[in-house]
Structure 1
Amino acid sequence: MKSRLYRWADRWAVRVADRMGVTLARAKPLDLRGCDIHPLEAWYRAGRYQPVLMDVPLSKLRGLGSAAFPCTRDSGHPFIETLLEYESGKTRSYAGSALERFYQNWQPKNAAEHLGVGDDPECAKLRELDAIEAVLPWSRNDPALQRANVEGAVTLTSLSESGRTMVARNRWHLLGPATEESGTHEFWRLIDAYRSIKGNGFQRRDVSDGDIRGTVMFDGDDWCVWIGGGGQHRVSVICAQGFAAAPVRVFYHIPTVVRREDSSYWPHVVDGLFTQRAALRVFDRIFEGRAPWRNP
């Protein structure tokens, strides 16, 4: 009885939000873990605004934002390499780790380089933007909002003992350069996640950041999941520990899916930030898991 009441209240809240012009996704995903299911079937099963939790093979996952490393042990993914080094005893600190090499060498100068199209003459507008202003062609965010989101994510606000507000700035963890302090902080975030999952198993929750989150990308019937939301550390740990798949929450925000065939309608193709050809270059590189840089 209680679960039926919750489902009714969930549907009612979404309908009220619709009438107010607000998009409201249901918080609790439809749990399809353990099912051998194509994402399109999962999407149709879920219905409107319903996130889905499904098992995704690690070979289908693309991590570290637009760097789009495949989430596999042999991909050069710096988070995974760092954990494998830690597991073998080769690395015990940020210094000398694969993570340090990543931040030292992956320092895109502008948004075009960040997206892997720095050599494209059609991407002049992207070369005028900072790396943290890089937006994907299908994103609804404009570069200014993307910058604000990144800066908000790396700014930690706290109160000192005297009651004064103190702001501590960290580096964006998807690219370099990194200070020694921020690199060390990121290293221990990764190791802490590793120790927690190894000791307690993978724990998820229904809250917004309670799952690894990704966007499903389609090229015809083929698909992959781009990890653009939370979960970069968690999925790296799952891979390093030898699992074949990870539970991922999909269809949790708009666009719920990205289809290659829709490229002429993507927001930043329509507004001219990308040509359609350049936008497809970005899509294809991410889809194929071709990172624009690899650890030496």
Structure 2
Amino acid sequence: MCNPDFNKIMKNNSSIIHVEVSKCCDWQGFSYTEDGWHYLCATLKEYIKQPSIKYENSILNRYYSAFQPKSLFEILLPNYKCNTETQDKHSFLPWGTPINMKAKNNQHFGPNSDTFTKNEFDRTIEIYKKIASEGYQPHRFRDGYIRGQFLKKYDDYRFMISGGQHRMAAISVLGFKTIEVKIQPKWEKLIDIEDINLWPNVQNGSFNKEEATNIFDAYFSTIGREKAKRLNLLHH
């Protein structure tokens, strides 16, 4: 049985839902927990220590240079020997959620142009400053709410962020414990591992069941530090 708080969340018919920051992650499996790692959170922590740092010397720039994956499997399952011949073609997760695998100028990974990287760096810091001074007030703005969907694995859950990565990073670094979110429009509210046989990209053969299970499990078994360590970004 899932924990009482999550049962309460699922029974809530309101469009606005409260979730724990410690349960939030992005689609690449980077988490916003204190012991986790996210490239935007790391960028802000570095900025707080060195306010005069330039984007060229930032951890964000190093991240985009170091992390240039060619497939979803490389992102979520770097050590997994997949059987799918078209692994580099995936633009959807096994349960049908779309992902951004654009090859250049992608906010999630490199390679990116200097202009794009500088804009991402400046935007991350600008949003952090705004939330630090004014708080997180999503009701004041159109599309002001952080958005995503729930992943449920038996008695545990994650809220996978689809919109509001920069706001989420600021909220995490500022020490928020809970936040108000909304479900991404046109997305399923809840993806349950127990429904794996019904997932569209398992049914159509894009992923076999083992691949789909391992991808889903990655959101619960990793926190982003694993990628950061592999990319030699933890020692900075």
Question: TM-score, normalising length from structure 2?
Answer: 0.85
Give the total of aligned pairs. 227
C-alpha distance in structure 2 between counterparts of 1:264 and 1:201, whole Å: 42
Instruction: Tell me if structure 2 keeps the 8 A contact 1:123–1:274.
Output: yes
Judge which range, 95-104 or 70-79, deviates more: 70-79
Whichever residue aligns with residue 107 of structure 1, its letter is Q
Q: For structure 1, which runs of at least 5 residues remain unmatched after alignment?
A: 1-35, 155-169
C-alpha distance in structure 1 between counterparts of 2:110 and 2:138, whole Å: 29
- After superposition, the Cα gap between the structure-2 partners of 1:206 and 1:287, relative to the gap in structure 1 and judged at 3 Å, is farther
Partner of 1:51: 15
Mapping for residues 172-211 of structure 1, pairs under 5 Å: 172-205=106-139, 209-211=143-145
Partner of 1:76: 37
Partner of 2:62: 101
Question: Which one scores higher on RCO, CA 8 angstroms, separation ≥ 6?
Answer: 2
Q: For structure 2, which runs of at least 5 residues remain unmatched after alignment?
A: none
1:244 counterpart (157, 177, 192)? 177
Whichever residue aligns with residue 86 of structure 2, its letter is K
Partner of 1:20: none
C-alpha distance in structure 1 between counterparts of 2:68 and 2:199, whole Å: 27
- After superposition, the Cα gap between the structure-2 partners of 1:195 and 1:45, relative to the gap in structure 1 and judged at 3 Å, is closer
Instruction: Tell me if structure 2 keeps the 8 A contact 1:62–1:225.
Output: yes
Partner of 2:148: 214
- After superposition, the Cα gap between the structure-2 partners of 1:278 and 1:290, relative to the gap in structure 1 and judged at 3 Å, is farther
Whichever residue aligns with residue 92 of structure 2, its letter is V
Once the two structures are superposed, residues 219-272 of structure 1 have per-residue CA deviations (whole angstroms, 9 ceiling, x without a partner) of 112111111x21100010011112222222237543110001111111100000
C-alpha distance in structure 2 between counterparts of 1:94 and 1:112, whole Å: 29
1:71 Cα offset (Å): 0.3
Partner of 1:225: 159
Partner of 1:284: 217
Q: What is the DSSP-based 3-state SS (H/G/I as helix, E as strand, rest coil) of the residue aligned with 1:225?
A: strand
1:68 Cα offset (Å): 1.3
Question: TM-score, normalising length from structure 1?
Answer: 0.69
Once the two structures are superposed, residues 182-212 of structure 1 have per-residue CA deviations (whole angstroms, 9 ceiling, x without a partner) of 1001000101101111122212127762201
Instruction: Tell me if structure 1 keeps the 8 A contact 2:15–2:183.
Output: yes
Judge which range, 200-209 or 217-226, deviates more: 200-209
Partner of 2:49: 88
Judge which range, 179-188 or 101-110, deviates more: 101-110
Once the two structures are superposed, residues 259-291 of structure 1 have per-residue CA deviations (whole angstroms, 9 ceiling, x without a partner) of 011111111000001001100100000123344
1:123 Cα offset (Å): 2.5
- After superposition, the Cα gap between the structure-2 partners of 1:44 and 1:246, relative to the gap in structure 1 and judged at 3 Å, is closer
- Aligned sequence identity (%): 27
- After superposition, the Cα gap between the structure-2 partners of 1:73 and 1:93, relative to the gap in structure 1 and judged at 3 Å, is farther
- After superposition, the Cα gap between the structure-2 partners of 1:123 and 1:117, relative to the gap in structure 1 and judged at 3 Å, is farther
Whichever residue aligns with residue 56 of structure 2, its letter is A
Measured on the aligned residues, the alpha-carbon RMSD in Å equals 2.6
Q: What is the DSSP-based 3-state SS (H/G/I as helix, E as strand, rest coil) of the residue aligned with 1:95?
A: helix
Instruction: Tell me if structure 2 keeps the 8 A contact 1:79–1:233.
Output: yes
